[in-house]
């Protein structure tokens, strides 16, 4: 999770300039997230206004553009494999990475392999696995698709049934209050539609129908300390605010489905909440729809939200007629990516990378990123706008990321991080000193202190070494 910290005015201006650059490059979709995604932006960026005299020149001079995903700077030379290997040699020997480091570097424009180390070995991907989930979902659903949550009439008077449709960001925030996840559907709107449908009839009982998802609510390899925690909850088809009891909670819910039912009951004045099933052919009393798929993917990636990831993986299963369970979702992601020419093997057991049992070849992560920058795979582009920018936002704005000598990478790297017990890694895009766009992926899965700044800093140093060099 990105930590909040106070920035001086000059850096806020830098971020504003960067945000405007992102909007101009990626379009309105990405800009919407950079300017309104307050749940994931440690810096509150003011709405763009005409700059005061003198400020315009400062912004122009200070702006650091994100990597150009459409290609490299004109005539930028391609690094050589020998140059890349030489640039990485010292950093790869850092003991903080441990004895098992897998890595790949490609030239994005020509797909030339510039560096390869253990890329076919099955490694624990940690949260870089979310890139696989995102790509699979964008293969089977449109970026504009939304997921519905419905309330139908129960079989008894005074009873309504809340039917979860797999919207992980549905919000219980009070009317007029910001939602934890921007653009989220609101239970207050759903309750208002139910009341309008029922007229003067009272609601006394809310049943929660969670049947859209099946199987265990936690994955193999999840520890007892993982649920509930500040990074995971049980995975249910019905939940509010990313599996929380209330929007402002840091620790997620031990019963996300009932938390959603309780929130709806409070909005409707009902006094009883229980689990149940919707009667066949029940009258729909109201429904709301989630933010679009591309927004959910951006939110999942930028904050590395495990709960959103697991729910989205189940939507891959549903779209491919598989059980919406951990096993069904993992198989759906595997088969969907295989159809796109990306082989992840049989080692994934969840969609977030949280499980200690996950194993995939690093080459699958690299291939996913290469396909994403390929113009032929334009439907995967929301994956790119969800990547954090080094030194600016998301998981790459944590206090210890890209500091010291690695600060050279600020603004030049877009990436997804991965941190788990014994695992530290990063995968994404960067622009080198010559302006060449590179795709990279690194995972150290025997790191002695993966959650410590020294271990994560070692990965940052690997990436910064590529940013600094033309590697010829």
Residues with catalytic roles: 127, 130, 304
Nearest to 395 by CA among 427, 440, 357: 427
| DSSP category for residue 190 | H
CA 261 from centroid of its chain's CA atoms: 26
Strand 101-107, strand 113-117: pairing: antiparallel
| DSSP category for residue 3 | P
Report whether 468 contacts 433 (CB < 8 A).
yes
In which residue are the tokens 């939602």 written? 179
Strand 205-209, strand 272-275: pairing: parallel
| DSSP category for residue 186 | B
Give the separation between CA 31 and CA 86, rounded to whole angstroms.
Answer: 37
Q: Is the dihedral of CA 117, 121, 125, 130 positive or negative?
A: positive
Give the separation between CA 342 and CA 362, rounded to whole angstroms.
Answer: 11
Nearest to 259 by CA among 271, 244, 248, 247: 244
What phi, psi does 191 have (nearest 5°)?
A: -65, -40
Give the separation between CA 393 and CA 416, rounded to whole angstroms.
Answer: 11
Nearest to 418 by CA among 346, 331, 360, 377: 360
């Amino acid at each position: 999770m990105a930590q909040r910290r106070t920035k001086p005015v000059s850096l806020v201006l830098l971020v504003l300039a960067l945000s405007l650059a992102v909007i101009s490059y990626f379009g309105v979709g990405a800009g919407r997230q950079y300017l309104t995604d307050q749940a994931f932006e440690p810096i509150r960026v003011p709405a763009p206004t005409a700059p005061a005299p003198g400020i315009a020149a400062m912004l122009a001079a200070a702006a650091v553009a994100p990597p150009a995903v459409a290609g490299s700077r004109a005539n930028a030379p391609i690094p050589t494999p020998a140059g890349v290997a030489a640039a990485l040699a010292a950093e790869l020997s850092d003991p903080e990475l441990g004895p098992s480091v897998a890595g790949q570097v490609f030239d994005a424009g020509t797909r030339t392999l510039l560096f390869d180390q253990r890329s076919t070995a099955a490694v624990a991907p940690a949260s870089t696995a979310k890139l696989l989930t995102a790509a699979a979902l964008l293969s089977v659903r449109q970026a504009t698709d939304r997921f519905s949550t419905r309330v139908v009439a129960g079989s008894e008077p005074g009873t309504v049934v809340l039917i979860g449709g797999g919207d992980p960001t549905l919000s219980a925030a009070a009317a007029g209050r910001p939602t934890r996840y921007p653009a989220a559907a609101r239970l207050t709107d759903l309750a208002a539609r139910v009341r309008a449908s029922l007229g003067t009839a009272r609601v006394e009982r809310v049943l929660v129908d969670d049947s859209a998802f099946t199987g265990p609510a936690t994955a193999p390899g999840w520890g007892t300390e993982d649920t509930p925690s500040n990074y995971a909850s049980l995975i249910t088809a019905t939940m509010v605010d990313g599996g929380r009891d209330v929007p402002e909670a840091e620790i997620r819910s031990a019963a996300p489905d009932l938390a959603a039912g309780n929130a709806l009951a409070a909005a409707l004045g009902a006094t009883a909440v229980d689990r149940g099933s919707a009667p066949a052919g029940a009258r729909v009393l109201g429904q709301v729809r989630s933010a679009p798929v591309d927004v959910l993917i951006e939110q999942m990636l930028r904050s590395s939200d495990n709960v959103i990831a697991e729910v989205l993986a189940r939507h891959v299963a549903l779209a491919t007629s598989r059980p919406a369970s951990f096993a069904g979702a993992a198989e759906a992601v595997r088969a969907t990516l295989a159809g796109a020419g990306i082989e992840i093997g049989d080692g994934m057991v969840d969609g977030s990378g949280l499980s200690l049992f996950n194993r995939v070849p690093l080459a699958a992560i690299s291939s996913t990123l290469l396909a994403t920058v390929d113009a032929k795979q334009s439907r995967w582009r929301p994956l790119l706008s969800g990547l954090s920018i080094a030194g600016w936002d998301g998981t790459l704005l944590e206090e210890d990321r890209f500091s010291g000598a690695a600060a050279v990478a600020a603004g030049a790297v877009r990436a997804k991080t991965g941190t788990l017990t014994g695992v530290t890694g990063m995968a994404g895009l960067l622009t080198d000193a010559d302006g060449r766009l590179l795709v990279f992926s690194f995972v150290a899965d025997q790191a002695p202190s993966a959650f410590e700044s020294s271990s994560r800093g070692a990965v940052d140093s690997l990436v910064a070494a590529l940013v600094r060099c033309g590697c010829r």
